[in-house]
Structure 1
Amino acid sequence: MRNSSAFLVSVVATLFALGLALLVDDGATRVAGLPLLPALALFGFAVQWLVFVPSFLRQTEHYYDLAGALTYASVILLAASLASPDVRGWVITALVLIWCGRLGSFLFLRVKRIGKDGRFDDLKPYWGRFLMAWTLQGLWVFVTLLAALIAVTSPASASWDVWATLGLLIWAGGFAIEAIADHQKNVFKAEPANHGRFIRQGLWAWSRHPNYFGEIMLWTGIAVMATPALTGWQWLGWVSPLFVCWLLVKVSGIPMLEQRADEKWGGQADYEAYKASTPVLVPRPPRRAAR
């Protein structure tokens, strides 16, 4: 992809986020003359672009995931500080901060340990392509946060209800699955005897991508919690977990990892047996080997 085409993708992604923000904004709060949600979307993109500049000059992707996590945190905190949310909104804010604190530090330490992220090998040398990656991360942040932002900035105060409790339980389950799966994989890779092998123990015996299942589950929990705050076009807030699911299942998550795994272990009997008996995403108790 040429720099000009990549830059055009960045423009379209930015305009899409701003259009979506305008569509769901309730108009109750303005920041510097802008409706609140479009202002938050622009702020998120601005953080990405600011970190892009030194990253491109130094030709490093080390701060990409960390910048994404910090953008999540700063956008949700800015929203809460400007909108004075109810109890539901503050709990959602805390949940987002807990999630991005754990995942952001995990991803940052991983790329520092490994030394590089192969996804960026063909992007870093070209300013347009590299800018596109950072802009798309800004889009990812805003769309993923959409349900949370609507709930946090909603002017209608609602008491804690069954939606809030159910959503919190779903979030807690998803967060636990994601954190446990990441920890199990870290421990597995830290063992020298496992070098060059694939993990198939713990939650990874139940699913080939249990961390992604947890990610989808926790954002679904956020959307469930936000449901009482949704009215009119704000029901588009449910695009948040759907977008996460689409991104991980169809775009940049499972397809890329499955391809890499097939290239490394494809044809090996144990790997082919693991693929045949283990679900791609939704966990299922491992089947007992036939006697």
Structure 2
Amino acid sequence: MTDLGTPALVVLAASAGTALAVLLVTFAVGTLKGVHRVVDVAWGLAFTAVAVVAWALSAGHGDDVRRTAVAAATAAWGLRLAVHIARRGRGQGEDPRYARMLARAPGSPALYALRTVYLLQAALVWLVSLPVQVAVLLPEPPDAPFVLGLVVWAAGLCFEAVGDHQLARFKADPAHRGRIMDRGLWAWTRHPNYFGDFLVWWGLYLTACATWRTAALVLVSPLVMSALLIWGSGKRLLEAHMSGRPGYAAYRARTSGFLPRPPRGAARPSPGRRP
């Protein structure tokens, strides 16, 4: 990082300010609407904004092919995710997760949400996006890790998008009401969307691995994202929420928790609710 000099400091600082600005604006919107689930939409938008700002400020410093491809890949992932979450939550009230959290908030619920949700997410956006902020500044032309990274990113984006589409179609059919989604990618892993995110961010990490030094410096980012997806606010919390639903125990017994693999035994419709 130090080899990149002043441009790196500028990009890092501007990226932090960008992430903070997006989440503060979202906090204002959520407070006015009385619905803090909008922060989930801002997650993808904040990554997109950081990528665009980092790309603009890296002009004349990083390799043009690398910086443009990395910024575009990040924006494509972030915008798709934001649009998907916005459509999914349209017309609905507060997310039960945030409702429970705010119900037991000490003092002002809005200020509690600001501290524990919005500011935390701004910090995580900045930390997780470090590979993007560094990759746009690298002067090295595209190399094998860069190409491999884009392949892994593309696989992750497709996996996530297909999983989300399959679940949305399943939920839209009234005949599936009260049943677990255990078809398509959901028969291979209980969390195709989280596994797709996992691949996306390990792929973007590889695009910053032009030197061993940058690879080591930004390794924390995919590790943090992986921890969030598997042990943090992703898989762990969703499974805790789903654990008591009819049919979920059988689905869990036959389906991988994260890494895709063929289901144990024949997949068949189950009577519980879908995730």
TM superposition score category, shorter chain reference: 0.7 to 0.9
Could you tell me which of 85, 91, 95 is aligned with 2:69? 91
Distance in 1, matches of 2:86 and 2:3, equals 33
Matched, 1:42 2:17: yes
- Aligned partner of 2:40 among 65, 69, 86: 65
Specify the SS of the correspondent of 1:228: coil
Does the aligned pair in 2 maintain the 1:177–1:211 contact within 8 Å? yes
Alpha-carbon distance in structure 1 between the residues aligned to 2:149 and 2:98? 35
User: When you count helix as a share of all residues, which structure comes out higher?
Assistant: 1
Which of 150, 159, 163 aligns to 2:141? It is 159
Measured in 2, the distance between the counterparts of 1:114 and 1:195 equals: 18
Per-residue deviation at 1:289? 4.0
When the two structures are superposed, what TM-score results if normalisation uses the length of structure 2?
Answer: 0.86
Q: Counterparts of 2:183 and 2:140 in 1: how far apart (Å)?
A: 43
CA distance in 2, matches of 1:96, 1:114: 28
- What amino acid maps onto 1:264 in structure 2? R
Q: In 2, distance between residues paired with 1:173 and 1:248?
A: 17
Deviation at 1:188, TM superposition (A): 0.6
How much does 1:118 deviate?
Answer: 1.4
What is the CA–CA distance in structure 1 between the aligned matches of 2:102 and 2:3, rounded to whole Å? 34
2:30 aligned residue? 55
Deviations 1:23-59 (A, max 9, x none): 87943228xxx74312321221122113212322331
SS, match of residue 136 in structure 2: helix
Q: Which amino acid aligns with 2:79?
A: G
Name the CA distance, whole Å, in 1 between partners of 2:3 and 2:230. 29
CA contact (8 A) 2:254 2:265 kept: no
**For residue 93 of structure 2, what is the aligned residue in structure 1?**
115
Q: Name the CA shift for 1:199/1:230 in 2 (closer, same or farther; >3 Å).
A: same
| Contact 1:44–1:141 (8 Å) recurs in 2 | yes
How much has 1:235 moved relative to structure 2? 2.3
What is the deviation of 1:198?
1.3
Alpha carbons of 1:250 and 1:81: their partners in 2 closer, same or farther (altered >3 Å)? same
Q: Shift of the alpha carbon at 1:76?
A: 1.1
**Which aligned pairs between 1:69-80 and structure 2 lie closer than 5 A?**
69-80=44-55
Q: Which residue of 2 aligns with 1:4?
A: none
Distance, in Å, in 2 between the alignment partners of 1:39 and 1:228 is 23
- The equivalent of 2:241 in structure 1 is 260
2:14·2:53 contact (CA, 8 Å) conserved in 1? Answer: no
In structure 1, the partner of 2:186 is: 204
SS of 2:260's equivalent?
coil
Instruction: Give the corresponding residue for 2:131.
Output: 147
| Aligned: 1:285 with 2:262 | yes
Letter in 2 for 1:216: F
Give the whole-Å Cα distance in 2 for the aligned partners of 1:24 and 1:283.
Answer: 39
Aligned pair count reads 258
Deviation at 1:194, TM superposition (A): 1.2
Aligned match of 1:137: 121
Query: Structure 1 unaligned runs (5+)?
Result: 1-22
Extract unaligned runs of 5+ from structure 2: 268-275
The residue number in structure 2 matching 1:275 is 252
For the 8 Å contact 2:157–2:197, the answer to whether it is kept is yes
CA distance in 1, matches of 2:114, 2:186: 34
Whole-angstrom distance in 2 between the partners of 1:141 and 1:24: 21
CA distance in structure 2 between the aligned counterparts of 1:180 and 1:286, rounded to whole angstroms: 18
The code of the aligned residue for 1:38 comes to A
Secondary structure of the equivalent of 1:263? coil
Quick one: distance in 2 between partners of 1:115 and 1:39?
34
Q: Check whether the contact 2:37–2:98 (CA below 8 A) recurs between aligned residues.
A: no
Equivalence for 2:206: 224
Q: Structure 1 residue runs of 4+, over 6 Å off? A: none
Residues 2-21 of structure 1, C-alpha deviation per residue, up to 9 Å, x if partnerless?
Answer: xxxxxxxxxxxxxxxxxxxx
Distance 1:57 1:289, change over 3 A: closer
Q: Which residue does 2:216 correspond to in 1?
A: 235
Q: Does the 8 A contact of 1:66 with 1:104 survive in 2? A: yes
| 8 Å contact from structure 1 (residues 230, 237) kept in 2 | no
The residue correspondences of 1:24-35 to structure 2 (distance < 5 A) are 26-29=4-7, 35=10
AA at the equivalent of 2:261: R
